[in-house]
Amino acid sequence: MKRKGRYGPFGGFYVPEVLIPALEEIEAAFERFRDDAAFVRDLDLLYKDYAGRPTPLYLAGRFSEIVGFSVYLKREDLLHGGAHKINNTLGQGLLARFMGKIKLIAETGAGQHGLATAIVGALFGMETKVFMGRTDVERQNVNVHKMKLMGAEVIPVEGGTGTLKDAINEALRYWTAHIEDTFYLFGTAAGPHPYPMIVRHFQEPIGREARRQCLEKIGRLPDLAVACVGGGSNAIGLFSAFLEDKDVRIVGVEGGGRGLDTHQHCATLVKGSVGVLHGCRSYLLQDENGQIYETECISAGLDYPGVGPEHAYLKDSGRAEYVSVSDEEVLDVFDLFCKTEGIIPALESSHALAWLLKQKGRLPKETAVVVNLSGRGDKDAGIVESHRPLAARMP
Amino acid sequence: MTGYHETFGRLKRTALIPFFVIGDPTYEQSLELVKTALDAGADILELGIPFSDPIADGPTIQKADLRSLAAGMTPAKALQFIGEIAAFQPVPIGLLVYYNLIVQYGTERFCRDFKEAGGTSILVADLSIDDADEMIPAVEAAGLETVFMITPNTPEERIDAIAAKTTGFLYTVSRLGTTGERNDLSDSIRPLIARIKRHTNKPICVGFGISSAEHARQVANAGADGVIIGSRIVKCIEENLCTPERIAPAAGRFIAGIKAALEAAPSGG
C-alpha cells in the first residue's frame, strides 16, 4: 500500500474513508497542473499583477540598530489581502478552477486565510463558505466584515473554544457531505496529504525570492532565516529555499501565550508530543490520553494545537530549531516595531520579531537575518488596544 | 465474547447494532443504557471512545463525546466498561475510535487490552486502508477483527482493496457526510449494497442516518447484514438529560421497536 505524503515518520493520510477519493482527486490534479504551462502562466500573472509579487526584501534600519545586527524583512505584508495567505489561495483556487470545481470552503483562524479565500472566490466567481470559530469571529470582526464584503459566507463554529481547530473540524465535516462539487481550500501546510505538499509549493515563492534578493542585496546568503509558526505555511515557504544551505540557521517561532507552564499557549513543537490530528502525524498539544488541548495565544493565526508535518521532521532532524515567545514579548515588539519602522506587523509575524529582539547582544553585528513579515497588523489594532490601551500609555 | 462470523451465521435476519459513546452521560448511566439495549435485543454492540475532535461525527455524537469526556471518561476506563458489558452478556463488541487515542495508549497494548476486555473488532474512524498496515499486525496478533468503511464515493477497485483488509464486516454509510439523523434514507443504499456485493461476500452493515424502524426495514430489505443505529439513540440521552432515569427506558423502547421491524423483515445477507 502506498505511503504518501511522508516527512520521515510524520505526515500521512489519516482521514475518514469518505475523504480519500477527494484527496486523491486533488493530488492527481496538482500533479497534473503544477508544471502545466497554462497553469504556471496564469498563476505567475496573478502573483505579479493581482497579488503584488515579488515582494520586496527591506533592510529594517532602525530595528537593526536596536538589536545590533541586520534584519531584512520579507515584505509579505504588502501583498493583496495583507498577508502571505494569498499565495496559497491563488494557487489552490486556480487549481480548483482547472479541476472544474465551482464552490470553495475554507477554515480560518485570524481570518487572513478566510479573507484570502474570499478574495479568490470573488476573483474566480466561486461560491465561498468560510468556517470560523466563534471566538475568532468576535476578535477578528474586521476580517469577517471584509470577507462578507467580497461575497463569502462566514459560518461561525460553536464547538470547543471556537478557534482554528474547531473551524477545521467543521470544515472537514461539511466537506464530507459536499465532496462532489466543493474544493476544500486548506490554509496551512498541515492536514492530510496532499495539503502539506500543495501549500508548501504555493508558498515557496517567499523563500525563492528572498534567497535571490539576499544574494543581490548583501552578496551572500543570510545567516538566519526566521518565521513564526502556527500551522507553519509562511515558515515553510521561507525555509524551503534554505534547507540545502547548511550554513543558514533556520528558526521557527511559536506562540508562547501566557507561559509554557500553562495550557494557554500554542507552542506545539516546543512543548508538544507526537500524535495524529486532522489527517497527519505530527507534534500536538494533547493530554496523556491523546485528547487535544484547547490552545490560547494572543495571535489567532497561530492558535492551533498541531503543526505541519514537515516542521515536525525539520525539528527532529535538527535542521531547524523551534522556539517560543510570550504574549507580553509580542506586545512589546509590536509597539517598538510600529514606532521604529512605521510598519504595523501582524501579531503572528511579531512573534518572529520578538525572538529577534531577544537576540539583541547575542549575535555578532555582521549577522544578516531574513525574517518573514508574513502579514500586516491593521487587523490586530483592536486586540493590542484591549491589552495595552494607547490612552494609558500616552504621557 | 463471540465473533461476527458466528453471529451473522446464526441470525436469519439483519443484525441490530446500536451505537453508544461509552460514558455518555456518565459511566454508570451509560452502563445501564447499554445493558438495557442488550435486553431489548441488540445483536452486536458498536461502542465509541469519546475524542475531543471527532471529525467524522455530526453534532449529536460530538455532544455525546463532550458529555462523556466532561464526566471523566478515558480510554482505560472505556476498556474497563467494555469488560463489564462482556461479563453481563456475551455479545460481539465493535469499537469505533479515533486514531490518536490508540497511538497514545500504545497500539499493541491497546489491541491486547481491548481483546482481553471482551472486544471483537476495531474500526478507526480516521485510519483508511492506506495507513492501516501500521495497525493491522497488532489487531491480528491480539486476535481481533478489522472493520473498514466503504462510502458511496468509494471507487470500484478500492472496494476490493478494502474488502481484502477486512476480516469482520464492511461498514457502509447511507450517504456522504458525518454521523447524524436523516429524514430521508438515500435511494443509493440499495444500489450501493448491490455494488459492494459484486466485489465481496464479507458481511455489510449500514450506518449513518438510520433513525426509524422504517429506515431499518429499508436497509434490511436492501440486503444488509446489519444495521447500525447511533445518533437517534444518543438523542434519547440528549433529550432526557434532566430526567436521567428516563434515558434507558426511552432507548430500550426505541431499540425494541427496531428489533421488531427487523424480525418482520425478510432475511438479510
Q: Tell me, what's the ipTM? A: 0.94
Q: Which residues of B touch A176 (CB under 8 A)?
A: 56, 176-178
Please give the Cα distance from A56 to B162 (Å, whole number): 51
pLDDT score for B176: 77
pLDDT score for A1: 38
**B84 catalytic per annotation:** no
Closest-CA residue in chain A for B157? A21
Which position among A107, A310, A329, A348 bears the catalytic label? A107
pLDDT score for B267: 58
The average pLDDT across A246-262 equals 96
Residue A289 to residue B75, Cβ atoms within 8 A: yes
Q: Which of B131, B162, B176 sits opposite A176 (nearest CB)?
A: B176
Q: Which of A14, A177, A290 sits opposite B127 (nearest CB)?
A: A14
Cα-only R_g, chain B: 17
Say yes or no to pLDDT of B268 above 80. no
Q: Which of A15, A159, A288 sits opposite B126 (nearest CB)?
A: A15
Please give the Cα distance from A100 to A375 (Å, whole number): 31
Cα-only R_g, chain A: 19
Closest by CA position to B232, among listed B103, B116, B60: B60
Alpha-carbon distance A371 to nearest alpha carbon in chain B (angstroms): 34
Say yes or no to pLDDT of B1 above 60. no
Q: Which residues of B touch A20 (CB under 8 A)?
A: 128, 130, 154, 158
Backbone angles phi, psi at B168, to 5 degrees: -90, -95
Please give the Cα distance from B96 to A170 (Å, whole number): 20
**Greater confidence, B62 or B187?**
B62
pLDDT score for B18: 97
Q: Please, which pLDDT band fits residue A244 given cuts at 50, 70 and 90?
A: very high
Residue B126 to residue A18, Cβ atoms within 8 A: no
Task: Express each pLDDT in A347-391 by its tens digit.
Answer: 999 999 999 999 999 999 999 999 999 999 998 999 999 999 988
Interface test with B, best of A1, A2, A6, A17 (most B CBs within 10 A): A17
Residue A290 to residue B177, Cβ atoms within 8 A: no
Residue B76 CB neighbours (<10 A): 12
Q: Which residues of B touch A179 (CB under 8 A)?
A: 153, 176
The average pLDDT across A246-273 equals 96
Q: Which domains does chain A have, with CATH numbers?
A: 6-47+84-195 (3.40.50.1100), 53-82+204-393 (3.40.50.1100)
Q: Where are the domains of chain B?
A: 12-261
Say yes or no to pLDDT of B76 above 90. yes
Nearby residues of A33 by Cβ (< 8 Å), 6 or more positions away = A39, A95, A98
Q: Please, which pLDDT band fits residue B24 given cuts at 50, 70 and 90?
A: very high
Residue A13 to residue B131, Cβ atoms within 8 A: yes
**B156 catalytic per annotation:** no
The average pLDDT across B182-206 equals 86
Residue A17 to residue B53, Cβ atoms within 8 A: no
Q: Please, which pLDDT band fits residue B136 given cuts at 50, 70 and 90?
A: very high
pLDDT score for A87: 98
Query: Please, which residues bridge with residue B97 across strands?
Result: B124
Closest-CA residue in chain A for B162? A17
Which position among B24, B43, B46, B65 bears the catalytic label? B46
The average pLDDT across B185-189 equals 72
Q: Please, which pLDDT band fits residue A180 given cuts at 50, 70 and 90?
A: confident
Yes or no: say if A356 and A332 are a contact pair by the CB < 8 Å rule. Answer: no
Alpha-carbon distance A355 to nearest alpha carbon in chain B (angstroms): 32
Cα dihedral B155→B160→B165→B170 (10° resolution): 70
Single-letter amino acid code for the residue at B71:
A
Q: What is the mean pLDDT of chain B?
A: 93
CATH superfamily name and code, B12-261 = Aldolase class I (3.20.20.70)
pLDDT score for A162: 79
User: In A63-196, where do the E strands start and end?
Assistant: 70-74, 103-108, 127-133, 153-157, 182-184
Please give the Cα distance from A222 to B55 (Å, whole number): 42
Give the three-class secondary structure for A185: coil
**CB interface of A with B, residues 151-180, below 8 Å:** 159-160, 165, 169, 172-173, 176-180
Closest-CA residue in chain B for A274? B104
Q: In what order do the strands lie in the sheet with B145-146?
A: B145-146, B121-124, B93-97, B45-48, B15-21, B226-229, B204-207, B170-173, B148-150
A1–B contact, CB cutoff 8 A: yes
Residue A204 CB neighbours (<10 A): 18
Yes or no: say if A140 and A379 are a contact pair by the CB < 8 Å rule. Answer: yes
Nearby residues of B69 by Cβ (< 8 Å), 6 or more positions away = A291, B50, B52
The average pLDDT across B74-91 equals 97
pLDDT score for A139: 79
pLDDT score for A241: 98
Please give the Cα distance from A318 to A333 (Å, whole number): 28
Closest by CA position to A88, among listed A204, A253, A193, A240: A204
Per mean pLDDT, which range of A1-15, A197-211, B142-156 is the poorest? A1-15
Interface test with A, best of B21, B53, B98, B105 (most A CBs within 10 A): B53
Q: Please, which pLDDT band fits residue A3 given cuts at 50, 70 and 90?
A: low
pLDDT score for A141: 86
Q: Please, which pLDDT band fits residue B266 given cuts at 50, 70 and 90?
A: low
Closest-CA residue in chain A for B159? A17
Which residues of B lie inside 8 Å of A (Cβ-Cβ)?
A: 51-58, 62, 69, 74-76, 99-105, 125-133, 148-151, 153-155, 158, 161-162, 173, 176-178
Alpha-carbon distance A22 to nearest alpha carbon in chain B (angstroms): 9
Q: What percent of chain B has pLDDT over 70?
A: 96
CA B25 vs CA A198, B131, B235, B241, B256: distances in Å: 42, 33, 11, 8, 21
Q: Which residues of A touch B54 (CB under 8 A)?
A: 169
Say yes or no to pLDDT of A208 above 70. yes
Cell of B132: 492501516
Task: Express each pLDDT in A210-242 by its tens digit.
Answer: 999 999 999 999 999 999 999 999 999 999 999
**A85 catalytic per annotation:** yes
How far is residue A245 CA from its own chain's centroid?
Answer: 23
**CB interface of A with B, residues 265-304, below 8 Å:** 274-279, 284, 286, 288-292
Residue A16 to residue B162, Cβ atoms within 8 A: no
pTM of the model: 0.95
Residue A18 to residue B176, Cβ atoms within 8 A: yes
Q: Which of B55, B104, B105 sits opposite A172 (nearest CB)?
A: B55
Say yes or no to pLDDT of A343 above 60. yes
Upper half-sphere CA count for residue B173 (Cβ side, 13 Å): 26
Per mean pLDDT, which range of A35-49, B21-35, B141-155, B168-182 is the poorest? B168-182
**DSSP-assigned letter for residue B240:** T
Task: Express each pLDDT in B216-244 by its tens digit.
Answer: 998 999 999 999 999 999 999 999 999 99
Task: Express each pLDDT in A121-177 by its tens digit.
Answer: 999 999 999 999 998 898 788 899 999 999 999 999 987 777 888 899 999 999 988
Residue B178 to residue A290, Cβ atoms within 8 A: no
Please give the Cα distance from A21 to B269 (Å, whole number): 27
Task: Express each pLDDT in A101-135 by its tens digit.
Answer: 999 999 998 799 999 999 999 999 999 999 999 98
Nearby residues of A245 by Cβ (< 8 Å), 6 or more positions away = A211, A221
Task: Express each pLDDT in B92-129 by its tens digit.
Answer: 999 999 999 999 999 999 999 999 999 999 999 999 99
Yes or no: say if A357 and A329 are a contact pair by the CB < 8 Å rule. Answer: yes
Please give the Cα distance from A152 to A93 (Å, whole number): 14
Residue A13 to residue B56, Cβ atoms within 8 A: no
Yes or no: say if A302 and A253 are a contact pair by the CB < 8 Å rule. Answer: no
Q: Which residues of A touch B65 (CB under 8 A)?
A: none
pLDDT score for B269: 44
Q: Which of B131, B148, B178 sits opposite A173 (nearest CB)?
A: B178
